[in-house]
Structure 1
Amino acid sequence: MNFAPLFAAPPAIIVHALAAMTAFVLGTVQLAAPKGTLPHRTIGWIWVLLMATVAASSFLIHTICQFGPFSVIHGLSLVTLAALPVAVLHARNHRVGQHRRVMVLLFLGALVVAGLFTLSPGRIMHDVVFGTSTTHGACR
């Protein structure tokens, strides 16, 4: 793994990728660790802030342009920003099943599936993981 392509990217991509990788690690810990504890709530709040950062920073990244400067991935960011407060409200109102469902869907959809997409050839994370050199850039 070579992080040089990531750290050579624009700042928005660096913030986006680092927040996503951290959220993935913390999310994995959250899924495996005991629920309802102080560490679970603390890590959960950090995870929510990281996910909001991932979603918000995506609007500064315009490398795939399907709808003007935006893509379907930006729609996923809107869903994420809408779903995060819903999941938090479920937890605060002790609706554990609904909270778990929304959080697992966000983890799988917004991190795992979208994260796998970033490993496609021509993407910066492809270069980080597989060590190839490709050209990256904004839409034209």
Structure 2
Amino acid sequence: MQITPVIAIHMAAALAALAIGPLAVWARRTRTQRPRLHRAAGYAWVTLMVAVALSAVFISGDKGPRLGGFGLIHLLIPITLGLIALSFHFLVRGNVAAHRRIMQGTYIGSGLVAGAFTLLPNRLLGQWLWSQIGLA
């Protein structure tokens, strides 16, 4: 599989979201809260995650079970978009605790866990990584 413009957009947005996510959390968790920084980083993170999810629609692989070109990993698209919408719903309703739980869970699940799966040897990024360090 070659890197296409869609894959490049997907990877760039995912890596940027991984970097910005902790900043959004840190801005609210420190002794001196920074609501403007939290809001700016949060909106940037949400925008990047929407870009990640939407670009994933146009990426299909050739390994594993497929249904119309989509694999199991594509289930993260509606889950991620739905959780982001739900977190804003809770925020508008004033339920900050639910907003926090959903956003942190989305970061961990869609960012860290899904990101870790991209490093498996049979995935594009994993093939690049493991071949560069001589393990594949």
* TM-score range relative to shorter protein: 0.7 to 0.9
Higher relative contact order (CA 8 A, sep 6+): 1
Aligned alpha-carbon RMSD (Å): 2.1
CA contact (8 A) 1:126 1:132 kept: no
Q: Deviations over 1:43-102 (max 9, x none)?
A: 101111100011111110001452230011111111111111211222233211010111
TM-score by length of 1: 0.81
Which amino acid in structure 1 is aligned with residue 49 of structure 2?
M
Q: Which residue of 2 aligns with 1:18?
A: 12
Unaligned residue ranges in structure 1 (runs of 5+): 134-140
Give the secondary structure class of the aligned counterpart of 2:28.
coil
Unaligned segments of structure 2, at least 5 residues? none
Q: 1:62 aligns with which of 60, 67, 70?
A: 60
Q: Kindly report structure 1 stretches of 4+ aligned residues shifted beyond 6 Å.
A: none
TM-score of the pair, normalised by structure 2: 0.83
* Alignment size in residue pairs: 127
Asked whether the 8 Å contact 1:26–1:47 carries over to 2, the reply is: yes
Residue of structure 2 in register with 1:37 after alignment = 35
How do 1:1-140 and structure 2 match up within 5 A? 9-34=3-28, 37-63=35-61, 64=63, 65-130=65-130, 131=132
Aligned-pair identity (%): 31
